[in-house]
Amino acid sequence: MSPASHGNNGDNNADLNKILETLTPIIKDYLDKVISMKGKYRIPLAIPTFQVEDILNALESLFSLQLTMRGKVRLFEEKWSHYIGVKHSIFVNSGTSANYLAFYILRSKLLSHERIKPGDEVITTPVTFPTSVYPIINMGAIPVFVDIELETLNINPALIEDAISEKTKAIVPVHFMGHPADMESIMEIAERHNLLVIEDVSEAHGSMIGGRKTGSFGDMGIFSFFFSHHISTIEGGALTTNNDEYNDIGRIIRSYGWIRTLDENRRREIEAKYPYIDPRHLYVEMGFNFKPTEINAALGLYQIDRIEDIVEGKRANANYLRRKLSNIPYLEDYILLPKEKKGYRHVWLGFPIVLRDESPFNKLDAMNFLEERGIETRQLEAGNVLQQPFMEKYKYRVHGSTDNSVRVMNKGLFFGVHHVMSKEDLDYIVQVFEELVATLRKKENQSNK
């Protein structure tokens, strides 16, 4: 990076450069030490994606008191749009905020015509992180759930069309655990029925279908930059879109409903209509504070330059594991290993597995087995959102069977697969799975006696 590129001018810049240069080797040594330190788990769920240049960039913003949303946020948005291949990105303070922002845009009174209203239906997947569902309910719309394909853990496109009613307005696919949902089929159905598509890409940065990035297929894409994701701004998220109107309204709603962060021409156009209001306090829609800080942007900026290395590192390690695990005799009698569909680029937020019905272990038994051996695990997030207590309180519709989603809730789990893993650690995971399969076989033989 070029130190102090956005900082104060003149002498202050030179002073700040000197401080940052002095700090560089100290931070680097310390960071290397912290990152290589082993915590409670030999294989943790997540590892940091920060490097020294990210921390220096954040320090530069801190020292120069450039703290609230400005140049680095804008630059982050431009670089993210370029990476995903879309016209606009709106950087926000979390993926959850981006989930909500999408629906607040679609119900906004500023739209040239209303896109979604209370009582409308939105088709989505039960296997997800729950914030992809909350905003649908929050706006008074009705989530309609169709089952997933076990192969990819994503919404099954073959079930969508049958679930469409005269109230259906949108589809929300989630690219779960890093494998893209079948966007070609979903977009084809959406176009035929004139439906909106909001892709939740929070777990799948850089995933692709036929060379095209997810987050660029639908009307909007949602990203999370929380700590455990492909790149991280600590907390953070983004909404991507090619639609100018959504972009303007999204920027307004992100910042209280005021117009300060619109492009100048658009701002002046609106200001001219209200000459009696101080333009710095002109509120044209009800909004939120979903703003990120310059520190978040500073931390993430250079990670965008490195994201392809991160993704390729994860892919190489996941593929090594897939190969080695599938060679363990009898493993696939008990465990369904994750797949990558042909022509798709899986980016592996984690390594998901689903135990087969024949397995004498349920999800929690398998999680305990792995955790006792230093491999950190989680259930597959909400698992099946329909089995989560919050859903008892709200209206929804289920179309057809959700057997696969129930199976994921009962039998699914994941562990970390990172861009940097030693061969020893990868082989250690394989060895633990050999032990797991031997234990499962023994248990099965015992219960058959």
Binding site for ligand PLP (CB under 6 A): 94-96, 99, 128-129, 131-132, 174, 200, 202-203, 224, 226, 237
Residue-wise DSSP of 351-362: EEEEE-TT-S--
What are the backbone dihedrals phi and psi of residue 419, each rounded to the nearest 5 degrees, phi first?
A: -75, -25
The answer to whether residues 261 and 254 touch, using CB atoms and an 8 Å cutoff, is: yes
Rounded CA separation 156/408 (Å) = 14
Least Cβ distance, residue 200 to ligand PLP (angstroms) = 5
Least Cβ distance, residue 129 to ligand PLP (angstroms) = 3
Q: Which is nearer to ligand PLP, 99 or 404 (CB)?
A: 99
What are the backbone dihedrals phi and psi of residue 122, each rounded to the nearest 5 degrees, phi first?
A: -130, 120
Least Cβ distance, residue 31 to ligand PLP (angstroms) = 23
Q: Which is nearer to ligand PLP, 97 or 168 (CB)?
A: 97
Least Cβ distance, residue 349 to ligand PLP (angstroms) = 7
Which residues, in sequence order, are bridge partners of residue 121? 142, 168
Which stretches within 107-175 are classed as H helix?
134-138, 160-163
Which residues, in sequence order, are bridge partners of residue 351? 415
Least Cβ distance, residue 199 to ligand PLP (angstroms) = 10
Amino acid identity, position 130: P
Alpha carbons within 13 A on the beta-carbon side of 445: 6
Least Cβ distance, residue 182 to ligand PLP (angstroms) = 17
Q: Which is nearer to ligand PLP, 23 or 234 (CB)?
A: 234
Which stretches within 194-257 are classed as H helix?
244-254
Angle made by CA atoms 207, 178, 181, in degrees to the nearest 5 = 75
Q: Which is nearer to ligand PLP, 41 or 227 (CB)?
A: 227
Least Cβ distance, residue 377 to ligand PLP (angstroms) = 16
Beta pairing class for 88-92 and 237-241: antiparallel
- Closest residue to ligand PLP using C-beta atoms: 95
Nearest to 333 by CA among 445, 448, 440, 427: 440
Q: Which is nearer to ligand PLP, 4 or 301 (CB)?
A: 301
Q: Which is nearer to ligand PLP, 50 or 334 (CB)?
A: 50
Q: Which is nearer to ligand PLP, 325 or 347 (CB)?
A: 347
